[in-house]
Structure 1
Amino acid sequence: MAVPPPSRNVGILPTWRRVAPVGTLASTPNFPTKILNVGGHVLVLANGATPFQTVTWYSRDLRRQARMAAYSKVAPTKPTISSFSNGTALALNPQHTGAGDMVYSPGQRAKKIAAEAGETARAEEHTDTVPTTIVSHSDLFQGLAAGKDGTVYATGGNSDQVLALRITANRVRVVHRYPLQWQAFPSSQYPYAYQGKHGKKPYHFYPDSVAVSPNGRYLYVTGMLANSLARIDIRSGTTQYVNVGPYPFAVILADGGRRLAVSDWAGRGVAILKRRNLEVLGTVPTGPDIGPHTVAAGVHPTAMTAVSLGPDIWVADANNDALVEVDTHALKVVRVIADDPYPNAPPGSYPDALAVAGGDLFVANAGNDDVAVFDAATGRPAGLIPTGWYPSDLSVSHQNLYVVAAKGFGTGPNPHWQYIGNMMHGLLQKVSLKDLARRLPEWTRTTLENDGFSRSQRRALAKKNARTSAFLRRHIRYVVFVLRENKTFDEDMGDYRAAGKWADPRFDLYGPRELPNLYRLAAHNALFANFMADGEVTAQGHQWTDGASDSDVVQRLWPEYYSRRGLQWNAGPGGTGALSAKERDRHDPFEYSRKNLGAFANPWISYPERLYLFNDLLGHGVSFEDFGENLTRTRDGVIRDALLAHVDQSYPGWDRMIRDDNRVAVVKSWIEAHPGKAFPHFIFIWLPDDHTAGASPCYYSPDYYVADNDHATATLLHELSGMREWRHMVVFLGEDDAQSGADHINAHRTLGLAMGPWVKPGNVDVQPLSQVNVVRTIEAIFGLPPMSQWDDNAEVISGIWRQTPHRDPIPVLPMRVPVQFNRGRCSDRQLQRREAGATGHVLTRLWLKSHLAPHGADNVSIDAAQRYSPTSILKVSGPEQMRQEWMASKGVRRYDAFQRFLRAYAAAHGDSVAVYEANDGDLH
């Protein structure tokens, strides 16, 4: 049952902002992205990184009534437990589509692990079930529309179909499936090559948004991966296609239904078409000119809404916080409104949903966790309405505003190893508009204070930051940032007694045995014990650490990739993995290619408006060197020479067979070759070995990977601490995210350290910090402007600095973990890769030729399909990675003991395990 929230309904986010949504609230499944009012119902589509994607029917008072759940394979009709030969078990309950859980154990214990999976799923079920229709071989993306007869149409993303749904007596039926096909687009049009999984055909149309014609005869559907709009005859199923530009996002009716408007997510505006014959009349630019060689990020035209009784529409440019009014008849921009929470704010509001009602324009600001209200006639801001975390859509009906927030109230602890990527359930919010004018001033003050945007807060922060910045500018001239992979604070530091209540050894996976150097570094420097990762997974984490934000593209598309729903890694998350040289006979296939990406994914669409630290450093003349981190590319996939000049092109990329000690050896050689003035002021070093390879056969064991990462980190610091520049240096160490472990305080909590002569020793710092504070501190040291509203309003790290430097060199403690490999069968090629990786190489024809016996006795053919590259990575998902690491590191008995602890932990608090998994019912 939905209830009006008391004042205590406040969430604290990883960025340390607060959310305090008003009105009546109900929870939704993970990551809702679409809301629709039809026939007395409120429909919510949720498409998170979950086994099921759902459409849930709510009453107007937010009581759940029915649900359709899409499942990519043959869906279970009753609670099902499946066990697999690798020891994985998956429990699914179609009545509790948010309660499915996966557990891991050795294969010979499949019966027991299946029982545990069933127990976990039952514990997580909410007692208030909802009638659910499971649809096999289906998927959902982010489009909903309704016909005149009440039929609901839902877009299917990876399944390349539109589902027609009807509800009768709280039961949902699929009355038709409309298939759609990929359409080729010009090679001169972004993204210049298909961006789905290349090895899987047929290619995907990837239906995104849907609209219904005024007479109810046709559906209009955008195809994100086909750059196309489809018109479907609802009766016959006959389908026509037309190219509308790169990454079409939304489609709406305009000019009284005579025209169609399509927003091009990767374009510069909206395409306008005649609805009757699909003639493209032109594109109205809402942003600056772009072309193949464009360096700047895109403006990301996304949500649209039509103005009644006229040809105008409103368009949200999500990446640069602009609201653009477009005349679809004259094909021109009428005006632009800045969606800024305060004067001269950098990007970060991220408007991504619009509605016009009662003379007001309502704008869902995903970045600021609010709905901004503007006078639609004058464009003047009227106020702000607080929402949950990341509002992703809104609608107005019967004098009520309905909003869905993709991340709800955020996360708390995850003692049952809940996966951070999908443990946050969304939020449905209903706000009465009858008394809006009276309530807006109070709500506006609350929203600004929750974000830290009030005048008094910003003045106080500026004053404090100025003092700290002045100190840092006097004493710090060099910054080294070391980024590692995927660990919670408790996972690595749970055994660190000096942290007191901030560490819990029951969740410790690695300790002093594997991490002797990390524990010593913590004892002699500043350890951030209340430090949060701002994103959930790697796709977001590298954007937050590099750019103090992640774009709307990354937020909306990473769940599709992480749940294996047809997208390439770079077709949204924004990494640049396809960087290996084209020449096979080079010892170093990680040399950055100066050519276009070709068939690989093009990440340009994913960049936030002000790009990343590297671009900022370059633009302000600060010298830097990059070892392993992503660099921005032009729109056609080329890394500019100006950036390329600051990259060590011999540094190994993502290869689990190359150890971090080899990576650090590359860094040391480079440092020795660049003494004195040639030494840069900023260095970024990526050391990914603590990600591990889980229990995958033939790879190093998790314990050894973590120990090698620890030793490599200390070796690097030892080298730095012996340099002349060390006297004016600070080293920051952190993880990209916290997705692989459990934590007793927050699933987003990770570890961070500051090290150097000016850092107080033995400091367990518990001030609220996140990755953004590190970025802000780096900017303060070099005098760089903020890149987003997050770093613009973040505190420069203070309280950890000493007045006089100490110059003790950092020692390297020896590894305590011997070389270990995971059990299992190794192919010849894996053994060859491992042998090459042991000396810092990858397996190439030239390396193989130089290591074969005479006369080719051991010759092995390696064709292009088999050749290992940074894009054929071994990527174990967060929850599975954590389980595999636990089993491999601690053994079966420790795993069983930890399972018993979890059950006792829940019982001691008077709860079931369900309390620690975001439930699928109403909020309490």
Structure 2
Amino acid sequence: MHSNFISIALLGLTVTFGASPSRADQPVAAHAGTLLPTGQWITPTAAAGAAYQPLNPNLKDMPKLPAGYADSEALSPNGKTLLVLTTGYNYVVDAAGKELPKDSTQFVFVFDVSSGRAVQRQVLQVSNSYVGIAFAPDGKSFYVPGAGEDNLHVFTLQGANWVESGTPIALGHKTANGISQQPTATGVAVTGDGKRALVANRYNDSVSVIDLTLRSVIGERDLRPGKNGGVPGTPGGEYPNSIAIVGSTRAYVSSERDRELVVLDISLQVPVILGRIPLQGNPNKMVVSRDGRMLFVASDNADVVSVIDTARNVVTGTVSTIAPNGVLDPNRAKYKGASPNGLTLSPDGNTLYVTDRGTNAVAVVSVAGGIPRLVGLIPTGWSPSDIRVAADGGTLYISNAKSDPGPNPGNCLGYETVPCPVPNSPVTFAPNQYILNLTGSALLSVPTPGADELARLTRQVADNNGFDQERDDDRTIAALRKTIKHVIYIIKENRTYDQILGDLGKGNSDSHLAEFPRTTTPSQHALANNFVALDNFYDTGDVSGNGWPWSTAARESDAGAKMLPPNYAGNGGGGSYDWEGTNRNVNVALTGAARVAADPLAATLDPDTLPGQGNVAAPDGPKGEYQQGYIWNAAQRAGLTVRNYGYFIDLTRYNVAGTPAAALQIPRDRSPYPNSVQSTSANPQLGPVTDVFYRGFDDAYPDFYREREWEREFAGYAANGNLPSLSLVRLMNDHTGNYAAAIDGVNRPDIQVADNDYAVGRLVEAVAKSPFARDTLIFILEDDAQDGPDHVDAHRSTAYVVGPYVKHNTVISTHYTTVNVLRTISDVLGIDHLGIYDANQRPMSDVFDTSNPNWTFTGTASPLLKSTSLPLPKNIQFAAKAKSPRSLAYWVDKTQGMNFAEEDKVDAVLYNKILWAGLMKTDYPTNGGRSLASQVPPMARHKDDDGDDD
């Protein structure tokens, strides 16, 4: 596996990586492995004696519905009780789609770990939570902030059971800093004397001080420099995440957005800021050494843990958590994505354990002697989020935030309120089939490994992530690089494979689930038939919130990953949609006067509201380029030209009609060029290359006009021979919605999908008939697959590759994901990889035939478009007959009150049911109308002894 090898002393033992005759060099033992939509494998039980326990709250109404997104742990001072807190999608419905409030909560799982085994004793409910949980020093109480409810829950031990003590303590915030943003309570810590608790207020950029005896807030400190005697408009202290307290007088608060620790004197009622410590990356959780001398801080984006000397308040060192020396190819060591997000110390203080969310591993760091050294990795489940060590040091307890959801509709999962269907019989709607409902969490218990075992497990992590695979340049891609000069990258919205191509007639499809069949989507069917049908392709993102980061950066931030489920649930959990350039609905790509000029709504903000261009969710580049980890940044660094049509657009002025700011509404202009600006970029590097006449996300605006604006510029490029190297095109109307406001009769879901389909087909046709046909590749995918059923997996979706050298009339069943698309684009254009995911995965070589550059395509329109008033061209080709099954009035009535202002603001569960009933005129299926028990999803394959797919 490695030609070199290195030995590192660990706790008096020697860990060896690489060639060695010792047991550590023997092949990794075979373990059941799951292939994820990230392209990685997970092997949570690879460690000898490991136990993987799914977190099930045993709800009365849904007894087998899992709890998702376990994000934080707390271990009692005596080491006997472990708490695991979820920050999941707490929105549970019955068979009629009605919310079950008593089940729609977050959970605290209480485990007895006194014997080393984790034995579940209780499951406590809190209506909402976000990351924070902490024990009192005496172990008789613990505390959970209530997220968007702006309060603090107190639990006390009564006999053998934990119970909530009184009503939650109100924090008293009326508003938050931002545009239309509500408060959210997050991290919590308790002073050493147990008298006070500090709570971080994520969107108020402050810390509240609570007297635990009086059960009331006695002080608050705004963490921003401009509110503490500094220069107004200076970034600092924003997006506070976690709090660490040294003794009872000193506190440290991690500022995720501004990449610093704020140091507080908490001896008074109102804390005093003592200083600020700049850090690499975005700091999140922290742990203090037992003697209080050292503070360890995990930082996303930089993939490091920083070590703070608490006497001097300076950084004394950092350690990367990706992989020990000799494990990862040095040429790929610069790439980021391990995403450390939770950490703890061994009882003797000599070893630091860090959860790496991005690589599904625990990093084992020796801190003996004061010099941190990464000495090994332990494989975990999907998305590890926090960790604690047993009191005797013998067991690690690791929370895993996610599990693969599997088919959607589910395969008789057991929590439906209707009987599991008889094969080939009519079926009815099964509740809680939404991807975020199906995503469950687990607690992984791992015996602390010795040196040889750690070496073996380290190689398992390397194998799971592709660290140790040869990365010689692919011959097919190298040949393409010589001829392909342009890539057009189209991102659409939210559809599954079966929804669109279920009736393709070849490949792994299910016609029962084709809500938008060939008559609605003739151009996409032609693309799949004429070129390649990718029937084993998976969107890496679950929903748009992480679908867009994955589709543009091949990874997501820890801040985004944790906020996604409560943001999407929306039932008091709060949370800002920060995934596409804005933070708290503020365009942080711009600052000062430029921000106000682009969006006068920002004039209502004071100068200390998100000053500067810090974006809490933006990825850094491979060499630490600040917030420049997107595909366009890589192209620009390589000297290539980029043009943007609709990516990362500020939407605040699209949705103010009917409000006091209605005069600021940007009107929907069918022919905007040259006088009607339609969009403002929300990304600093995209701003100068964005077509401002191309409208961003707006369900009421047909893709027909978006494509026409793109084609206007394309004609100019064709005339001048200067097509940009990378064109980013957003065609989003397959998202569907906003029917009452939709213009030109594109006002029903099937018609909107048909509009999107024709726009895609027309764009491909324009390229096919242009001078760029021989040197341009087109990649098309959905950012996620959340809105609909698929019989294989809730992440399976459509993707198309079109252009010269693409195979014709071929089904490709190779497992590909969003990450593979970005890897292929990067390789074809000859630009650098974006992060650790695409750097360690393969391009989509199976798609291409380098002997055949010939191709042609003519877009075909669904006859559904005949009912619209779109100015369709006279020579348009229509597909076979199709008729919309429902009237506009039906869709307006069924979706009344739904918020289509931006992606995913509607009740996705209810909306999917409405779509199915309206389009298919039958009840929503539980499993596509037949038993799926005998089907094995391609993603759920296992590895054999040699590590290959079975």
TM-score range, shorter chain: 0.7 to 0.9
Q: 1:737 to 1:394 in 2, by over 3 A?
A: same
- Quote the residue 1:432 is aligned against: 447
Partner Cα separation in structure 2 for residue 213 and residue 579 of structure 1: 35
The question of 1:160 aligning with 2:138 is answered no
Question: How far apart, in 1, do the equivalents of 2:546 and 2:310 lie?
Answer: 35
Distance 2:859 2:929 in 1: 40
- What does residue 61 of structure 2 align with? none
Matched, 1:512 2:518: yes
Distance 2:649 2:580 in 1: 13
How many angstroms apart in 1 are the aligned matches of 2:728 and 2:562?
28
Tell me, what secondary structure is at the counterpart of 1:746? coil
Name the counterpart of 2:337. Answer: 348
**For residues 57-456 of structure 1, what are the structure 2 equivalents within 5 Å?**
88-91=97-100, 94=103, 138-147=127-136, 148-168=138-158, 171-176=161-166, 177-182=168-173, 194-195=177-178, 197-198=180-181, 203-204=182-183, 206-238=184-216, 239-244=218-223, 245-254=237-246, 256-277=247-268, 278-287=271-280, 299-341=281-323, 342=328, 343=330, 344-357=333-346, 358=348, 359-377=350-368, 378-398=371-391, 399=393, 400-409=395-404, 411-412=406-407, 414-415=409-410, 418-433=433-448, 435-454=449-468
| Residue 593 of structure 1: aligned partner | 598
* Alpha-carbon displacement from aligned partner over 1:236-255 (angstroms, at most 9, x marks no partner): 1242111231111111122x
Q: Specify the SS of the correspondent of 2:536.
A: strand
Specify the code of the residue in structure 1 equivalent to 2:356.
N
- Distance across 2 between alignment mates of 1:656 and 1:632: 15
Could you give the per-residue CA deviations for residues 611-670 of structure 1, whole angstroms, max 9, x where no partner exists? 31122222222112111111799xxx9867763331111111222221111111111111
1:783 match = 830
Tell me the amino acid that sits aligned with residue 623 of structure 1: T
Aligned equivalents of 1:765, 1:543: Cα separation in 2: 26
- Pair 1:486-2:501 in alignment: no
Q: For 1:866-885, list aligned pairs within 5 A.
A: 875-885=905-915
From the superposition, tell whether residues 577 and 173 of structure 1 become closer, same or farther in structure 2 (CA, over 3 Å): closer
Alpha-carbon distance, 1:257 to partner: 4.7
Verify the 8 A CA contact 2:480 2:850 in the aligned structure 1. Answer: no
Q: What is the CA-CA distance between 1:95 and the residue it aligns to?
A: 11
Say whether the 8 Å CA contact 1:132–1:171 is kept in structure 2: no
Q: Find the counterpart in structure 1 of residue 616 from structure 2.
A: 605
For residues 680-699 of structure 1, give each alpha carbon's deviation from its aligned partner in whole angstroms, at most 9, with x where no partner exists. Answer: 12111111111111887977
1:554 and 1:574 in contact (8 A); partners too: no
d(CA) in 2 for partners of 1:164 and 1:703? 50
The number of equivalent residue pairs is 758
Note if 1:570 corresponds to 2:577: yes
Distance 1:375 1:873, change over 3 A: closer
What is the RMSD computed on CA atoms of the aligned residues?
Answer: 3.5
Distance 1:410 1:335, change over 3 A: farther
Distance 1:264 1:129, change over 3 A: closer
Alignment correspondent of 2:796:
749
Q: Which sections of structure 1, spanning at least 5 residues, go unmatched?
A: 1-5, 53-79, 99-127, 185-192, 288-298, 581-589, 832-865, 916-924
- Provide the rounded CA distance (Å) in 1 between the counterparts of 2:639 and 2:805: 25
State whether structure 2 residue 42 is matched by structure 1 residue 19. yes
CA distance in 2, matches of 1:679, 1:285: 42
**TM-score of the two chains, using structure 2 as the length reference:** 0.74
Alpha-carbon contact 2:189-2:197 (below 8 Å) kept: yes
Instruction: Tell me by how many angstroms 1:823 deviates.
Output: 3.9
For 1:872 and 1:648, how far apart are their aligned partners in 2?
20
* Residue matched to 1:10: 33
**Residues 242-274 of structure 1: CA distance to partner in whole angstroms, max 9, x if unpaired?**
1231111111122x5542111111122211222
User: Hey, what does 1:824 align to over in structure 2?
Assistant: 889
> How far apart are the structure 1 equivalents of 2:723 and 2:105?
57
Residue of structure 2 in register with 1:474 after alignment? 482
Please tell me the residue identity of whatever aligns with 1:89.
K
Give the Cα–Cα distance (whole angstroms) in 2 for the partners of residues 251 and 824 of structure 1: 52
SS across alignment from 1:421: helix
Aligned to 2:754: 707
Q: Which amino acid aligns with 1:330?
A: R
Q: Distance in 1 between matches of 2:104 and 2:696?
A: 43
Give me the whole-angstrom Cα distance separating, in 1, the residues matched to 2:809 and 2:698: 35
SS in 1 for 2:302: coil
Counterpart contact for 1:579–1:593, Cα < 8 Å: no
Q: Which residue of 2 aligns with 1:58?
A: none
1:390: how far off? 0.7
Quote the residue 2:82 is aligned against: 42
Distance in 1 between residues matched to 2:464 and 2:504, nearest whole Å = 33
Rounded to whole Å, the distance in 2 between the matches of 1:279 and 1:579 is 28
Counterpart CA distance in 2 for 1:869 and 1:430 is 42
Gaps of 5+ in 2: 1-28, 56-66, 108-118, 224-236, 411-429, 588-594, 622-628, 652-679, 868-883, 941-950
| Partner secondary structure for residue 221 of structure 2 | strand
Displacement of 1:356 in angstroms is 1.4
Aligned to 2:115: none
Q: Which amino acid aligns with 2:344?
A: A
- Report the secondary structure of 1:522's partner residue: helix
Checking the alignment, whether the CA contact within 8 Å between 1:356 and 1:376 is kept in structure 2 is: no
Task: Letter of the 2:322 partner, please give it.
Answer: D
Q: CA deviation at 1:89?
A: 3.0
Alpha-carbon displacement from aligned partner over 1:692-716 (angstroms, at most 9, x marks no partner):
1188797722111111111111111
Structure 1 483/788 Cα, relative in aligned 2: closer, same or farther at 3 Å?
A: same
Report which of the two has the higher share of helix: 1
Q: Secondary structure at the match of 1:824?
A: helix
Residues of 1 paired with 2:788 and 2:263: CA distance?
48
Q: What is the aligned partner in structure 2 of residue 56 from structure 1?
A: none
- AA in 2 matched with 1:526: V
SS in 2 for 1:668: helix
1:392 Cα deviation after fit: 0.6
In structure 2, what is the Cα distance between the partners aligned to 1:215 and 1:335?
30
Per-residue CA deviation, residues 399-432 of structure 1 (Å, 9 max, x unaligned), is 2211101013554554457111231110101122
Per the normalisation by structure 1, the TM-score is 0.76
Rounded to whole Å, the distance in 2 between the matches of 1:36 and 1:594 is 43
Paired residues for 1:719-758 under 5 Å: 719-758=766-805
In the alignment, residue 88 of structure 2 is paired with which amino acid? Answer: G
Would you say the 8 A contact 1:365–1:391 is kept in 2? yes
| 1:572-721 matches, cutoff 5 A | 574=581, 593=598, 604-610=615-621, 611-630=629-648, 643-674=686-717, 675-693=719-737, 700-721=747-768
Q: Distance in 1 between matches of 2:513 and 2:535?
A: 15
| Secondary structure at 1:214 match in 2 | coil
- Measure the CA separation in 1 of the matches of 2:887 and 2:905: 16
Structure 2 distance, partners of 1:639, 1:677, is: 29
Go from structure 1 to structure 2 and tell me whether the alpha carbon gap of 1:561 and 1:410 turns closer, same or farther (over 3 Å shift).
Answer: same
Residues 174-224 of structure 1, C-alpha deviation per residue, up to 9 Å, x if partnerless? 21321113399xxxxxxxx814744xxxx52x2211111111111111111
User: In 2, distance between residues paired with 1:24 and 1:340?
Assistant: 24
- Aligned residue number for residue 33 of structure 1: 71
* Partners of 1:507 and 1:180 in 2: CA distance: 48
Superposed CA deviations along residues 518-576 of structure 1, whole A, max 9, x for unmatched, are 11111111221111111100011111111111111110112222111464643466458
Q: Which whole-Å deviations, capped at 9, do the CAs of 1:840-865 have from their partners, x for residues lacking one?
A: xxxxxxxxxxxxxxxxxxxxxxxxxx
Q: For residue 533 of structure 1, what is the aligned residue in structure 2?
A: 539
Distance 1:827 1:728 in 2: 45
Secondary structure (helix, strand or coil) at the match of 1:884 reads helix
Structure 2 Cα separation of the partners of residues 310 and 528 of structure 1: 55
